[in-house]
Chains A and B, each alone.
Chain A
């Protein structure tokens, strides 16, 4: 009996989800066109597969969203330089967003703002990110 009580108090019923950064490609009508994930809570490394997915879906692509599961709710320097490179390659300015714990921001037309209300897929993005 004592060992049962010890077991219940030291082991959680479910293991917390591992936090990792996740990327969604979003199309018209808030459709998730493609996604990938990293093994890190603070980085989504460069990926030719991600670029090929973006290029192949460019006609339908509206937004690129990714998560910062440990914050911040801001675009990093890496994000900023990647967004600039993507816009110059695609020849148009995409919408970008970051989902952090408790807050989502977006960049659209050069303006950065809080996303309220959030799209339906923001909850899925957070869940996949272990938030």
Chain B
């Protein structure tokens, strides 16, 4: 079992009820939507939260300071031009 931490709308809070550490990422996102809708996360109650609210979020599974299992739901943070724009000299003003 693990503690779920959710970061959303400037708040970062733990979900008090433990969930399965091995829950899939999709399940973690689905659970997060439900607990935020229900007010189960202190300081984070959004009754009308969209089902896809956490689609751009990733799941980190880590050990806490006392060895406890913790699941963190946080926003993804990759950036990048992407392989589709990888042509050297393409697009940029310097390529003219």
Contact = CB atoms under 8 A, between A and B. Distances in A.
Interface of A: 21, 23, 38, 40-48, 50-51, 54-55, 58, 66, 68, 70-74, 76-79, 81-82, 84-86, 88-92, 100-103, 131
B91 A72 contact: yes
Contacts of B21: none
Interface of B: 7-12, 53, 56-58, 60, 74-83, 85-96
Nearest to A45: B78
B81 A91 contact: no
Contacts of B93: 73, 100-103
Closest 6 CB pairs of A and B: A72-B91, A101-B94, A91-B10, A71-B92, A85-B56, A102-B93
A38 B82 CA distance: 13
A41 B86 contact: yes
Contacts of B92: 68, 70-73, 100-103
